[in-house]
Chain A
Amino acid sequence: MKSLEELMAIKAKMKDKVAIRQASDEIRVVVGMATCGIAAGARPVLNAFVEGVADAGLTDKVTVTQTGCIGICQYEPVVEVFVQGNEKVTYVKMTAEKAKEVIEKHIKGGNVVAEYTIGNVNV
């Protein structure tokens, strides 16, 4: 069984990080997780963002959170990206693959992936 010692080791390792870390919130990724989002496949999209942000070493800069239904169920899975100082970008009909691309191009590179945004996707 995975041991609690391992959890203690995580605690020790993270203690230092907690000290340096400020809630910077430079970039926020918000994934819709109501019935509509879940039924459309939001869970793997959320997990792709959580893993992708950690793999890119960006957990200090980027927070990934969940929200309820925002009222555009036909476009789910919906992901909103808030970059400080910029307008909100709404990605629709998302998949785990598209999530990886958004991390690479938008979150790391600063370029919105226009083809997945709400104005460019037909339902």
Chain B
Amino acid sequence: MEEFSLYVLDITMNSVRAGADKIGITLEEKDGMLTFSVSDNGCGMSKEQVARLSDPFYTTRKTRGVGLGVPFLTMLSEQTGGSVKIESRSEAEYPDDHGTVISASFGIDHIDFIPLGDMIGTVITLIQGSPDIDFTYDHITPAGTVHLSCAEIRAVLGDDISLGSFEVLEWIRGYLEEGYAEIKH
């Protein structure tokens, strides 16, 4: 994948498919490293499942026998001098406190790192696909932070209006564009 934002979309989709209703996405740029993490309250994974995540021939999906999301992320991370960490608590073992946190670091200035790309497009795509999930998005840079919380937006809109409606998605796009314009200076 040519844009980092597509890795963010792909990895976050794992949390969506794990049935999470709260998903936090954080990007933090500091001292030449970018740390990306996604935490969710989805069904989680057993220790055995976590151990097999870096194996591209492991997947629980039935339509295709390979799972490349985490291997892609790990490859980019390790190529640029970073590492990937996954912690998970399965619903079976921790019925009241389950979920997964994946975090990966990257050398921003490493020659093998790729452009961040359209992060706003990724956030919009996630909300469009799962308007009922409470996503939070924080992109922390030395120049400032871009923050979005679906729960805050939902509190204004009430329950009758979907975050996936076009008008709301356009507002979110404008909000994020302004946020990014502010930290550009």
Residues on A lying within 8 angstroms of B by beta carbon are 1-2, 4, 6-8, 10-11, 13-15, 18, 33-36, 38-39, 43-44, 46-47, 50-51, 53-54, 59, 64-66, 68-71, 73
Q: Are B124 and A47 in contact (CB under 8 A)?
A: yes
- Binding site secondary structure of chain B: helix
Contacts of A35 in B (CB 8 A): 10, 13, 67-69, 72
3 nearest A-B residue pairs (beta carbon): A71-B63, A54-B166, A66-B129
- B143 part of interface (Cβ distance < 8 Å): no
Contacts of B13 in A (CB 8 A): 33-35, 38, 68
Q: Are A36 and B174 in contact (CB under 8 A)?
A: no
Q: Mark B1-43, 1 if CB is under 8 A from A, else 0.
A: 1000010011001000100000000000000000000000000
A66 to chain B, nearest CB (A): 4
Residues on B lying within 8 angstroms of A by beta carbon are 1, 6, 9-10, 13, 17, 61, 63-64, 67-69, 72, 118, 121-122, 124-125, 128-129, 153, 156-158, 160-161, 165-169, 171, 174-175, 178-179, 182
Contacts of A11 in B (CB 8 A): 156-158, 161
Contacts of B9 in A (CB 8 A): 33, 38, 43
The 8 Å CB contact of B1, one of A7, A38, A68, is A38
Q: Are A66 and B171 in contact (CB under 8 A)?
A: no
Contacts of A15 in B (CB 8 A): 160-161
